[in-house]
Amino acid sequence: GQRVMQAAAGNLKRLTLELGGNDASIVLPGTPVDAVVEDIFQAAFLNMGQTCAALKRLYVHESQYREFAEALAAIAERQVVGAGLEEGVTFGPIQNLDQLELVSELVDDARAQGAEVLCGGARLDRPGYFYPPTIVTGVSDGHRLVDEEQFGPVLPLIAYRDVEDALRRANASQMGLGGSVWGEDEARAQAIASQLESGVAWVNCHAQIQPNTPFGGCKMSGFGVEFGLEGLLEFTTPQLLFMRQRTS
């Protein structure tokens, strides 16, 4: 994106840059696990996690940390990984070898630093770039798997004690594409979501992108928006017509 921006400087071409993301989600204390865990899983592993606005970091209160981790791992273990034409397959491959190697590297790095891989965590022993859905616990900010965008079928869970601290940690990333807050108290969740440093903030959902609502990021995730009226206006240049009325 930076190279595109440099190339566009020669004739001052206007840009909309929708770049990478490392979307954080905060689950508020007391959130019923069964009510949200399936939606959280789908948001994280949409297109095998190969989506710019997929949920990529999950902050869970320490009182429910293990319960959420085990529930997510149970869903992950039910998935069938394989080629799209194989019957019953729910998870396909990673798009290319370089990305497969990056995902493997990030998981191996987390494991070497004491993280626990609850399921998955290794390339499948078959032709193709297949990596199973992977849930990782025992990681925190500072681990590569948390700080970098994995863009693959891996979800790290980070425990927190204080919601304000979780918010600070969620905002510490240089990226700011999307983010979300999950909880029964919608007013509280909305108040916290409004403090996320992201172009889009969702409440009790994630990666809900619609053609009638603007979508875009901030910080190193780019600028400008796509979709909605605002997205159409990105392609226009306003002109002011100023006319002084003659007096007789």
Query: Which active-site residues does the annotation give?
Result: 18, 52
Going from the C-alpha of 183 to that of each of 31, 53, 66, 175, 219, the distances in angstroms are: 5, 20, 17, 24, 26
Distance CA 234, CA 170 (A): 29
